[in-house]
Chain A
Amino acid sequence: MTTQTKAQTPADPRDEIVTYLPALRAFARGLTGNVTSADDLVQDTVLKAWSKFDQFHEGTNLRAWLFTILRNTFLSQQRKRAKEVADSSGSFAAKLASKPDHDGRLALQELNEALKTLPVEQREALLLVGALGFSIEEAAETCGCAPGTIKSRANRGRKALAEILHLEKGEQLDSTDSSVTAVMAASPTIF
């Protein structure tokens, strides 16, 4: 069936964790909306992954396994915080909706802020599939749901973003022209 080159197989999958850290950080930023919280979340993820590596089945998808740990850690932190913090996402959305802008960096900033207003299940679907290039199947494995569920969550998320950012009314989320590239280069970090 499959031919595996055993000589090239890493001795320990733990050594591969570092490969996925940049994408894990990006996913964590998208979920938390905050660089510091994101790095804390990635640290917690690494610690958890390390402590339960005996539960990881070699030859299965390490990336999806790590992303699942990060996601579950985030969701459990969020459940704890939900008891303490009132939700302010509604006012966020209203503020964004009243302020369309053509500047590219602002457009990306608005996209980032708009993303934060989405329900977490739509946000994670968009982050995995849209931002990080996961296949629908791998995103489904990561989130523990059916591929069709990921697909519809991503679609609902895109639709919500389009509404918040006025994209359906002919506005361009224009961050691809040269002026925007220049702005992005000068100020690379949105977070």
Chain B
Amino acid sequence: MTTMSGTDDNESNGIAPAVAQQIDENLKRLYSDATSEDLPPSLTELLNALREKDAQEKSGDK
């Protein structure tokens, strides 16, 4: 049994591998800003609030 799917690979032959690679590289470039930005305060505040709530519930249980 083969693990590589010939059918799927054939489907990528619809475009040149260089074009496919170019698209992937540019997608990475397009999203590299988003992945390296600082998190917005709203998100870090949300996480802190959730942690605090959990900590309070835990201490309340004891």
Query: Residues on A close to B: CB < 8 A?
Result: 14, 17-18, 21-23, 25-26, 29-30, 39, 42-43, 46-47, 50, 107-108, 111-112, 115, 126-127, 129-133, 148, 151-152, 155-156, 158-159, 161-162, 167-168, 172-173, 175-176, 184, 188-191
A131-B28, A159-B14 known; A46 and B19 CB under 8 Å? no
Other-chain contact of A22, B5, B25, B34, B46 (Cβ < 8 Å): B34
* Contact across chains for B39 and A107 when beta carbons are under 8 A apart: no
Q: Which of B7, B19, B26 has the most chain A CB atoms closer than 10 A to its own CB?
A: B26
Q: Which of A25, A131, A155 has the most chain B CB atoms closer than 10 A to its own CB?
A: A131
- List residues of B (35-58) whose CB comes within 8 Å of A's CBs: 35-37, 39-40, 42-44, 46-47, 50-51, 54
Interface of B is mostly: helix
Query: Residues on B close to A: CB < 8 A?
Result: 5, 7-8, 11-12, 14-16, 19-20, 22-31, 33-37, 39-40, 42-44, 46-47, 50-51, 54
A39-B42, A167-B22 known; A26 and B50 CB under 8 Å? no
* Contact across chains for A126 and B27 when beta carbons are under 8 A apart: yes
